[in-house]
Homo-oligomer: A and B are copies of this chain.
Amino acid sequence: MPLTKTITSLPEIDQVMDQSMQAFLEYKKINATDRAAFLERIADEIEALGDILIRTTQEETNLPEARLLGERGRTTMQMRMFAAMLKEGSWLEASIDHAIPEKVPAKPDIRKMLVPLGPVVVFGASNFPYAYSTAGGDTASALAGGCTVVVKAHPAHLKTSSLIAAAIQKAIEFCKMPNHCFQHVIGTSFEIGKALVQQSHTSAVGFTGSFSGGRALYDYATVRPKPIPVFSEMGSTNPVLLLSDALAKNAETIATQYAGSITLGVGQFCTNPGLLIGVGSEGLDTFKITLANAINQVAPAKMLHSGILNAYETNRSNALTTKGVSTISNNNVVNENSAAPMIAHVKGIDFLTNENLKEEVFGPYALLIECSDIEELKKVWTSVSGQLTTSIMGSDKDFETNPELMEMASQIAGRVLLNGVPTGVEVCASMVHGGPYPASTDSRYTAVGVNAVKRWVRPVCYQNCPDHLLPDALKESNPLQIKRMINGNPYQ
């Protein structure tokens, strides 16, 4: 029986969260090997759904098969990555300080490790129906950390979400995990999301989506009698610096590269490069013309759903009617219900004086900002809010001339790219997917990579605890054979 439940009332939410808390008290005790096997089984069950999953998602999202196959692979890979993390064990940050009885005052034996927070509520994204949704990074990392999970299905892909939830349910049964360690709910109103965040058992929230949605959940959580952490990964305009020497040498190549990145997946990535910033020059003119020509040749394509298409057209129109903004591309192909890619242009001075131009236009769109000099370029760059990424297209000469740019970049974003495009988020230990607000509500965490688990756990220490009462991770003999900090020396 897949645990998909349509909830319409507060008592139903209480029941779901009560069940999640009951399951949590069992689930948190399950050892790392069994928890890892559970995550691996989820990956297997998702793969076992086969073509029906891909076809269902194609119908619901307009995303092409190749993209969905890739995203499914990433989703199952993430599950297996967290399983591997559990088996390896150093993520627990186990740390032992031995007693020093002769110290004055005597130093007690103290041992620390991470423990799960409790039930986590996950709101998935529409643009990643697998990798940031029902069995996505938030769910995988929370289950890995020992938290139970309640996913509120995204209304744009309910069938996909239910199929994935059924696969997870099969894994729960196969691995004999506690009932309700994962639950899947369908909420029919905005109030359901709010109530899920504010239910007393809810211990943390993961969200991927719009700024307005992510901020609303954050606000619901912080006014609770007992506030809880919210990890909202929100919009980003991902500013790109186009430096003069790089443009002088490679304007055409860079333009072609960026035409691909701007229109990849109909521009529906949170890392889509929305602001291109350069100083007026011959190189920038070449870049402009090449980019516009390339964009004109990209066929309009269907977006995820009509709501996203409407928002794209409205937001783009708001930008285009702003003082000083013009279009430099001219893509006139008309496909019904499809989003035409577009490049707009504005001078630095007009960008700086029109706040609305700093807002994300989610879709295959970018605004080229032409600055009068490098000082104005830096002003434009640092005038935008916190970002998931910022990219610099620059030659060695550019960086010699402007050595301060690297340091500035780390102030602006969670990920700094050199001579590349921000679309494409590698899943690995060094990845940071997050950034200063409003890229995310807590810049201290990443939503991608094994460190994503750190959002759902907290440290506990045990003082003078007899060895047989300690969790295995902290026992003197190290039965789990994990790397631990011993007396302040890392990773013995």
Residues of A within 8 A of B (CB): 25, 28-29, 88, 90, 95-97, 105, 107-108, 110-112, 115, 117, 218-219, 222-223, 226-227, 229, 385-386, 396, 399, 406-407, 410, 413-420, 424, 426, 428-432, 434, 436-438, 441-444, 446, 450-451, 454-455, 457-466, 469, 483, 485, 487-488, 490-491
**B residues less than 8 Å from A460 (CB atoms):** 410, 413-416, 432
Q: Which of A219, A418, A458, A490 has the most CB of B within 10 A?
A: A458
**B residues less than 8 Å from A450 (CB atoms):** 488
Given contacts A111-B430, A418-B464, 7 further A-B contacts (CB under 8 A): A112-B430, A219-B222, A414-B461, A418-B466, A420-B463, A444-B455, A444-B459
Closest B residue to A226 by beta carbon equals B437
Query: In the bound complex, what is the Cα–Cα distance between A396 and B466 (angstroms)?
Result: 9
Contact between B227 and A218 (Cβ–Cβ < 8 Å)?
yes
Query: In the bound complex, what is the Cα–Cα distance between A222 and B431 (angstroms)?
Result: 27
**B residues less than 8 Å from A461 (CB atoms):** 414-416, 430-432
Q: How many copies does the complex hold?
A: 2
Query: In the bound complex, what is the Cα–Cα distance between A90 and B414 (angstroms)?
Result: 20
Contact between A490 and B90 (Cβ–Cβ < 8 Å)?
yes
Contact between B229 and A442 (Cβ–Cβ < 8 Å)?
yes
Measured CB to CB, the closest approach of chain B to A216, in angstroms, equals 13
Q: 26 A-B pairs, CB-CB below 8 angstroms?
A: A25-B407, A96-B430, A97-B426, A97-B428, A107-B428, A110-B426, A110-B431, A111-B430, A222-B222, A226-B437, A226-B438, A227-B437, A227-B441, A399-B469, A406-B469, A415-B460, A416-B461, A416-B462, A416-B463, A418-B464, A429-B488, A434-B459, A444-B454, A444-B458, A444-B459, A483-B491
Closest B residue to A407 by beta carbon equals B29
**B residues less than 8 Å from A229 (CB atoms):** 442, 444
Measured CB to CB, the closest approach of chain B to A95, in angstroms, equals 4
Pick from B222, B399, B444, B462: contact of A418, CB below 8 A.
Answer: B462
Query: In the bound complex, what is the Cα–Cα distance between A165 and B443 (angstroms)?
Result: 30
Contact between B463 and A417 (Cβ–Cβ < 8 Å)?
yes
Contact between B226 and A419 (Cβ–Cβ < 8 Å)?
no
Contact between B429 and A97 (Cβ–Cβ < 8 Å)?
yes
Query: In the bound complex, what is the Cα–Cα distance between A329 and B455 (angstroms)?
Result: 46
Query: In the bound complex, what is the Cα–Cα distance between A476 and B436 (angstroms)?
Result: 27
Closest B residue to A215 by beta carbon equals B227
